[in-house]
Amino acid sequence: MTPLYLTFAVGFLSFTAMTAARVVLSLYALQLGAEASSVGVLGAMFFIFPLLLSWPVGAMSDRTGPRKPLIGSTLIGGSGLLLPFFWPHVAALYIAAAMSGLALALYHVNLQTLVGRLSANSQERVHNFSNFSLVGAATNFCGPLAGGFAVDHVGHAVASLFIAAMSVAALILLLVFGRSLPRGERSSAPKLRVMDTLADRTMRGMLITSGLMQLGTDLFQFYMPIYGHSAGMSASAIGVVLAAFASASFCIRFGMAKLVARFSEQRLLCYSFFFGAVGFMLVPASHSVAMLALVAFLFGLGMGCGQPLTTMLMFARCAEGRTGETLGLRLTVNNVMRVAGPAVFGVVASITGLTAVFIMNGMMMGIGGWMSRPQRKADDTAGK
């Protein structure tokens, strides 16, 4: 198995296990009698370690190479999901969620770094990141589906065991083929501080636009069901709307390499933000399932491109030997947005209503588009 295919295979197994674990552990907690607020805390446990450790994990990956951290992530994630099988208690679910989050912090940065390092040139990097984003989109579909079917057919405890088996499969692949993965890029380079990266105006702008893209995606998925419920739509109708968003994100990634070749990464990122802005602005004016599904599909076209593009641009602009640190810092900023954004806009929604939330988010996406617009000098140079 080639290193790139190994990266994709480990990514598929790891991300599928993570998305399935969110479903299984949440349902298991409810089955054990946990309150809705406790389930919310359980969901937050998945993101504590990615928030705190993504940047240090990236720095470690630069020094040691990705193989050892990836092996560690599969061991931690698999071990954590064995707990609910042997100890059917809510406390075990909290520990399992935290350990799954720690595994996520380890493998997310390393897999993204691997995709970049295994690309020989910029064209190949675009192609590889596009394919990797398709893997991520597939896991968002396969994980919840596998978790839900497992709970229905074998029960919550055995479903946890089933998810742990995915980590075991990833571990076997790494042990058999992992020595083909690249080693660390540096061993004795001076330590880079976060402020050194933030002092770079280009990198600072990329971190902001990446955070805005993540925030826009999460808030749309969070507030769209609330808006649909307020408009009297059924749960299945809301599911259709969210499915339209997910399908657009998946479809656009098939042609992303061609779009980048046609427009360039920077210009396409700008267009992605503007698609997102239009999508947010149209939601309050949409009162039917068909119209909302169309708006969600439009929004998904923009957001489906946006996240992979920010990863490509960050990788292309990071200093030599600092790819893990840079991508880890990007994930840290994204996770800060994921934690803080819903809380802040929840207060806004309670004061001003849902319409103002969608309009404000549309304006936020517009600002992101303006920040990510290509510089005229760069365009002139490219045209000569």
- Where helices occur in 118-182 by DSSP H, the ranges are 122-154, 156-177
Q: Which of 155, 180, 205 is the last residue of a domain?
A: 180
| Residues 6 or more apart in contact with residue 70 via CB below 8 angstroms | 10, 106, 107, 110, 111, 170, 174, 178
Q: Are residues 312 and 226 in the same domain?
A: yes
Q: Is residue 380 part of a domain?
A: no
Q: Is residue 147 part of a domain?
A: yes
Q: Is residue 310 part of a domain?
A: yes
Q: Are residues 32 and 134 in the same domain?
A: yes
Give the SS3 label for residue 296: helix
Distance (Å, rounded) from C-alpha 98 to C-alpha 112?
22
Q: Are residues 143 and 241 in the same domain?
A: no
Q: Are residues 169 and 209 in the same domain?
A: no
Q: Are residues 215 and 296 in the same domain?
A: yes
User: pLDDT tens track of the chain, all 384 residues?
Assistant: 788 999 999 999 998 888 888 888 888 887 888 776 677 677 777 878 888 888 788 777 777 778 888 898 899 988 988 988 898 888 888 899 888 888 888 888 888 888 888 888 878 888 888 888 888 888 877 887 788 888 888 888 888 898 899 999 999 999 988 888 887 665 444 555 666 666 677 778 888 888 899 888 888 877 887 788 788 888 678 878 887 888 888 888 888 888 888 888 889 999 999 999 999 999 988 888 899 999 999 998 888 888 888 888 888 777 666 777 788 888 888 888 877 777 788 777 778 888 888 999 999 999 999 988 876 544 444 333
Q: Are residues 17 and 113 in the same domain?
A: yes
Backbone angles phi, psi at 264, to 5 degrees: 85, 155
Distance (Å, rounded) from C-alpha 143 to C-alpha 140?
6
Q: What is the largest CA-CA distance in the chain?
A: 67
Q: Are residues 130 and 206 in the same domain?
A: no
List for the chain the helix, strand, coil content (%; round to 5): 85, 0, 15
Fill in the amino acid letter for 263: F
Structural domain count, the chain? 2
Q: Are residues 328 and 369 in the same domain?
A: yes
CB of 369 within 8 A of CB of 274? yes
Q: Is residue 381 part of a domain?
A: no
Distance (Å, rounded) from C-alpha 82 to C-alpha 139?
21
Give the SS3 label for residue 87: coil
Q: Is residue 154 part of a domain?
A: yes
Q: Is residue 143 part of a domain?
A: yes
Q: Are residues 114 and 231 in the same domain?
A: no
What Cα–Cα distance (Å) separates residue 114 from each residue in 111, 192, 211?
A: 5, 20, 22
Q: Are residues 171 and 243 in the same domain?
A: no
Q: Which of 130, 158, 180 is the last residue of a domain?
A: 180
- pTM as predicted: 0.77
Fill in the amino acid letter for 240: V
Q: Which of 145, 180, 215 is the last residue of a domain?
A: 180
Q: Is residue 10 part of a domain?
A: yes
Q: Are residues 20 and 167 in the same domain?
A: yes
**The domain that contains 56 carries what CATH number?**
1.20.1250.20
Structural domain that includes position 142 = 3-180
Element (H, E) at 231: none
Q: Are residues 154 and 216 in the same domain?
A: no
Of 298, 305, 281, 285, nearest to 241 by C-alpha is 298
Q: Is residue 87 part of a domain?
A: yes
Give the SS3 label for residue 183: coil
Scored b (16 or more CB within 10 A) or e, 27-62 reads bbbeeeebeeebbeebeebbbbbbbebbbebbbbbb
